[in-house]
Amino acid sequence: MKKKKGVDAKDICPQIWFALGLCEGEMRQLAGVELVITSGRDGEHQKNSLHHVGCAVDIRIRRLTPAGKRRLCQHLKLLLDARGYDVVLESDHLHIEWDPKKGDAPWLQEVA
């Protein structure tokens, strides 16, 4: 796993690191490519974006075919959606955020 130069990966929540580990394995299996984080707490995002609090990341998908991008997104959604994550395929990146909602069954929970 790599990060693009200038990416702030400091203070990213553990739940996002877990999702990145899953995503890394899927990317290597689907396309033989290494995961690259293109945005963490850095960059320009909406005011209420979870990027600002370390609960969202963007990853590079340009080395995947269009079918590979869709397959990666669909598989990650199957693994993560019910566990409190949102996985969104954007035009030039994959956005993953930890945003549990009522009814989700997260297996990783913060402890006080």
User: With bands split at pLDDT 50, 70 and 90, how would you rate the model's confidence at 110?
Assistant: low
Quickly list DSSP for 56-91. EEEEE-TTS-HHHHHHHHHHHHHHHGGGTEEEEE-S
Digit-coded pLDDT (tens) for 61-107: 998 889 989 988 998 999 888 888 999 999 889 999 998 777 666 66
Do 55 and 99 contact (CB within 8 A), yes or no?
A: yes
Give pTM, 2 decimals. Answer: 0.84
Q: CA-CA distance, 102 to 43, in Å (whole number)?
A: 29
Digit-coded pLDDT (tens) for 29-72: 887 889 999 988 776 767 778 877 788 999 999 988 899 899 88
Domains, the chain, with CATH or none: 2-98 (3.30.1380.10)
